[in-house]
Amino acid sequence: MQGTSPLPGLGGAMIFDETTDVEIAARNTRTSKTSDFGSGCSADGNLVICGGIYDRMVEALKQEGGYLASSGERAKLEKAMWDAEGRRIVETVAVSPQKLAQAAGFEIPADRRFIMVEGTGIGKEHKFSGEKLTTLLALYRYEGEFENALKMMEEIYKVGGSGHSCGIYSHDDDHIDRLALRAPVTRIMVRQPQSKTNAGSAENGMPMTSSMGCGVWGRNQVSDNIGLKYYMQSTFVARPILKDQPEESVLFGEFFDPAVIRE
């Protein structure tokens, strides 16, 4: 179950703060990005990386099979992925990075697993900040305080994907909590490969599903991982029971006003 934001289903925004385990995060990113050739809603799409670890993170991603496109190759990729009206070109959806590069007019080594482009901006006019649906992800660098990463994350979800999911590589509980309070999503994966865990995992307790509710952010009725219970219909038969309810003065505390109580 996807949201109806401008580009629904974009669930791959990931934040990498200064406490990131670089090698583990790179391995998880490769796992998430290459699953089903990056066509899943949860495949990592936009990486928001702390400037202090940016270069190390890029090198670790290269070790995991990433190919960093040049600015010229980036421009060619954009033309191969979106038409003049900004619609995604079907022929480059869910293809290997070699086929994607070939469609763009250049070649990459046979051992490369995914392509990376450096993001030059976030917004509807910056196509790489939207959903890719293939073996390509965008890299964004943030400097200074963690608040700057959160602001970039918020801008990404204005492009699309509100309600779906995002993730963070961090050992800072304050950063994790702040992301949870700010991100307009219904599931946040901490130090995990997004596309392999947010739909259910024995390692995080998420309910198994192939359909994810996106809550009010995605204009969905529910925010859960959709399971069998949502397809079963129930009839309640309610009989009188002994009343078990606190007094109104307890329920409403300082807002309790006996003068407005009516039988």
Terminal Cα-to-Cα distance of the chain (whole angstroms) = 44
Please report whether residue 249 resides in a domain. Answer: no
Is the per-residue pLDDT at 7 higher than 60? no
Please report whether residue 138 resides in a domain. Answer: yes
pLDDT of residue 170: 98
Q: Which domain covers residue 167, as residue numbers? A: 13-218
- Which CATH number covers residue 57? 3.40.309.10
Select from 213, 204, 203 the least CA-distant residue to 165.
213
Select from 216, 168, 164, 159 the least CA-distant residue to 190.
168
DSSP state, residue 38:
G
Run of H or E including 148: helix 146-159
Summary mean pLDDT of the chain: 92
Q: What is the pTM of this model?
A: 0.86
The stretch 195-207 carries a mean pLDDT of 90
Determine contact, residues 115/136, Cβ cutoff 8 Å. Answer: yes
Please report whether residue 241 resides in a domain. Answer: no
Please report whether residue 261 resides in a domain. Answer: no
Beta bridge partners of 50: 142
pLDDT of residue 4: 38
DSSP per-residue letters across 172-198:
-HHHHHHHHHH--BS-EEESS-HHHHT
Using CA atoms, how far apart are residues 158 and 7, in angstroms rounded to an integer? 9
Please report whether residue 262 resides in a domain. Answer: no
Torsion of CA 227, 13, 204, 30, to 10 degrees: 110
Model confidence at 89, pLDDT cuts 50, 70, 90, reads very high
Amino acid identity at 111: D
pLDDT of residue 5: 40
Please report whether residue 256 resides in a domain. Answer: no
Is the per-residue pLDDT at 262 higher than 70? no
Write the pLDDT tens digit of every residue in 210-253: 889 899 998 898 999 998 888 899 999 999 999 888 888 888 88
Percent of the chain surpassing pLDDT 70: 95
Write the pLDDT tens digit of every residue in 110-140: 999 999 999 999 999 999 999 999 999 999 9
Please report whether residue 82 resides in a domain. Answer: yes
- Show the tokens assigned to 241: 């029971």
Please report whether residue 259 resides in a domain. Answer: no
Model confidence at 144, pLDDT cuts 50, 70, 90, reads very high
- Show the tokens assigned to 119: 């993001």
Model confidence at 10, pLDDT cuts 50, 70, 90, reads low
Structural domains in the chain (count): 1
pLDDT of residue 1: 40
The stretch 37-53 carries a mean pLDDT of 94
Select from 82, 9, 81, 66 the least CA-distant residue to 34.
66
Q: What is the Rg, in whole angstroms, of the alpha carbon atoms belonging to the chain?
A: 22
- φ/ψ of 206, rounded to 5, equals -65, 140
